[in-house]
Structure 1
Amino acid sequence: MELRHLRYFLAVAQEGHFTRAAERLNIVPPALSMQIKALEEELGGPLFVRTSRKVELTEAGRLFQIEAQRTLDQAEKACQTVRRSLRGETGQVRIGFAGNAVFSGKLTHDLRTFRHHYPDAEMVVSEVAPLAQADAILTGQLDIGYTPDHDKLHSPALLAEKIGLWKRIVAMADDHPLSRHPRLTVEMLAAEPLILYDAHGADESLYATLRHLLGHDPHVSHCSASSLSVLTLAAAAQGLALVPEPLMNISVPGVVYRPLDEPELAANLMLVSRKQDNNGATTAFLTIARGMEIRE
């Protein structure tokens, strides 16, 4: 017995006539009659009382009509549930982020857009250090990451896409001597203690670029995996913090920001995911994060 047999049976039961039911099903009446006869043989008795003018259900036919409709409804529900999952309309997507994804507004935009288009899908969002994001995605603890570029993203199992690029600026205590300058150069930073965002880990490329531009190892006084910690240290006059331009949106007492004339020190934002991922919610979220058109 197949689902089509149930559809054939219900069509005859509803129409009360083989010819009309056959027209509705777009098959020829003899074929429909053979299918119903085969169904009755499989069940072990008649489902219809046939006369020259109409077809009526037997008692067994009336019972079968209820169960057949229930079965088809459940099958359709199962199909709809799976289709919604494949489209990303249900299910869960787990997202990790580092600070710049928030301060730039990119993550917030993506989350709001996803919620608008997929209100029944669940988002689990957490702040995760850049280096930890790659491992978490590879082990299945996260589905998507927003992080600066670093070596761990170059795993063959990961897909890392650049979705943001911003100038680097300097955050410093408001009474620092360099705060009198409207713009800074790398040369001005040569003898200054620097505060970097996890410099020897997630921001290793920044450290290497500074070393190249200065001609010597930069004087790094502090490294932190928290953007707020970096700004707090700058406010406490512990050094100059090199931060992405979107962090200017954060007002911290005692901190001023100055532009830095050095394009090589630009800060990027990467969208990270698994190359092989069949989670519909993850696929839908990636479509939004990439700025692609959403198919309704």
Structure 2
Amino acid sequence: MDLRHLRYFLAVAEEGHFGRAAERLHIVQPALSVQIRALEDELGTALFVRSTRKVMLTDAGRLLVIEARRTLEQAERAKTLIQRAARGETGLVRIGFVGNAVATGRLSDDLIAFHAAWPGVALELHEMAPAAQQDAILAGRLDIGYCPAFGTAFDAKLSVRTVGSWSWQVVMSDRHPLAKRRTVPIAALMDEPFILYAADGDDEGQLAVLRQVLGRAPRVAHKVSSTLSVLALTGAGLGVALAPAPLSRIAAPNVVYRKLGKGGPRSELVALSRIGGEWGAVARYLAMLGERAA
């Protein structure tokens, strides 16, 4: 059923006259009569009792007035919602992240800025390993992913934006001999047992960092899947770890943070999205990331 036919029908029903309805709709009366007749043929029943002076609604016509108004109102609401979604004013942004995105403060800062600008957009968060984020974005289950850049190979179908860059710090027990130093030289870490952050078993990123820092494969004591586990094990003296400098904001029992000596790489955080998937609220979020990185 054509929405235009419903609008024409309501005009005739409300005016009670084909001529006045045609003037209201800015069309000629014969054309209006043809459209109403087409609607009646489609429905298989008369909607009006016609006379030379006025038209009156049949029982079917009176019922259609109620349904036509409801249908047109719903269509207008749908149009408004779609237009707002296209402008990024409403909708949903599904975001994947690793623990470091939270620990560095970058994710929460971005969420605060985006919600302040676009409060009508819902945000859905999922903690996921980098590889799982890529798969979910490419499959359309996720819109944006925050993950470390170093040691991660990115699919060519993904757009990659750097959103943060920090120096590395050494995380260790406050009882560790190296805790007495302000800066820990790389040479002093050669034989240290490392706590490796490996979300969902994905340890390639951390291993690549440690190989570049040490110049060889690290001695791995434990592999863990959360930042809190890293802090628990280092605080217990079961190994040392590398973490982005902002992680030192987290005060954990028996844990200290020390600067890493010169020569190491930087910790970079990137935002991933699917090329061609930047629409509506997702496009707004990505634009916000670009503005904050500028």
Return the offset for 1:138: 4.1
Closer, same or farther: CA 164–20 of 1 in aligned 2, 3 Å: farther
CA deviation profile, 1:106-157 (whole Å, cap 9, x unmatched): 222344455553547362x232233433344445554432211256542234
Return the offset for 1:166: 1.3
Closer, same or farther: CA 139–153 of 1 in aligned 2, 3 Å: farther
Give 1:80-159 correspondences, 5 Å limit.
Answer: 80=80, 82-83=82-83, 93-113=93-113, 117-119=118-120, 121=122, 123=124, 125-139=125-139, 142-149=142-149, 153-159=153-159
Return the offset for 1:35: 2.8
**TM-score scaled to structure 1, two decimals?**
0.77
**Aligned mates of 1:109, 1:9 — CA distance in 2:** 53
Closer, same or farther: CA 221–183 of 1 in aligned 2, 3 Å: same
Closer, same or farther: CA 168–150 of 1 in aligned 2, 3 Å: closer
CA deviation profile, 1:7-50 (whole Å, cap 9, x unmatched): 11212322344454334323344433443344455555362534
**Aligned mates of 1:194, 1:63 — CA distance in 2:** 75
Return the offset for 1:276: 5.2
**SS class of match (1:237):** coil
Note the residue ranges of structure 1 that are not aligned, 5 or more in a row: none
Q: Which residue of 2 aligns with 1:58?
A: 57
Task: Please provide the CA RMSD for this pair.
Answer: 3.5
**SS class of match (2:204):** coil
Q: Which residue of 1 aligns with 2:274?
A: 274
Is 1:6 aligned to residue 6 of structure 2?
Answer: yes
Closer, same or farther: CA 48–82 of 1 in aligned 2, 3 Å: farther
Closer, same or farther: CA 38–136 of 1 in aligned 2, 3 Å: closer
Return the offset for 1:231: 2.0
- Choose from 187, 206, 211 the match for 1:208: 211
Identity %: 45
**SS class of match (2:72):** helix
Give 1:1-296 correspondences, 5 Å limit.
Answer: 1-40=1-40, 43-45=44-46, 47=48, 49-52=50-53, 55-60=54-59, 61-80=61-80, 82-83=82-83, 93-113=93-113, 117-119=118-120, 121=122, 123=124, 125-139=125-139, 142-149=142-149, 153-198=153-198, 200-212=203-215, 216-262=216-262, 264-275=264-275, 277=277, 282-283=282-283, 285-291=285-291
**SS class of match (1:121):** strand
**SS class of match (2:7):** helix
Return the offset for 1:73: 2.8
**Aligned mates of 2:129, 2:37 — CA distance in 1:** 67
**SS class of match (2:164):** strand
Return the offset for 1:249: 1.0
**Aligned mates of 1:133, 1:64 — CA distance in 2:** 50
**Aligned mates of 1:193, 1:67 — CA distance in 2:** 73
Aligned length: 286
Closer, same or farther: CA 233–7 of 1 in aligned 2, 3 Å: same
**Aligned mates of 1:106, 1:20 — CA distance in 2:** 62
Return the offset for 1:291: 4.6
Note the residue ranges of structure 2 that are not aligned, 5 or more in a row: none
**Aligned mates of 1:261, 1:177 — CA distance in 2:** 16
Closer, same or farther: CA 13–163 of 1 in aligned 2, 3 Å: same
Contact 1:88/1:284 (8 A) holds in 2: yes
**Aligned mates of 1:67, 1:126 — CA distance in 2:** 42
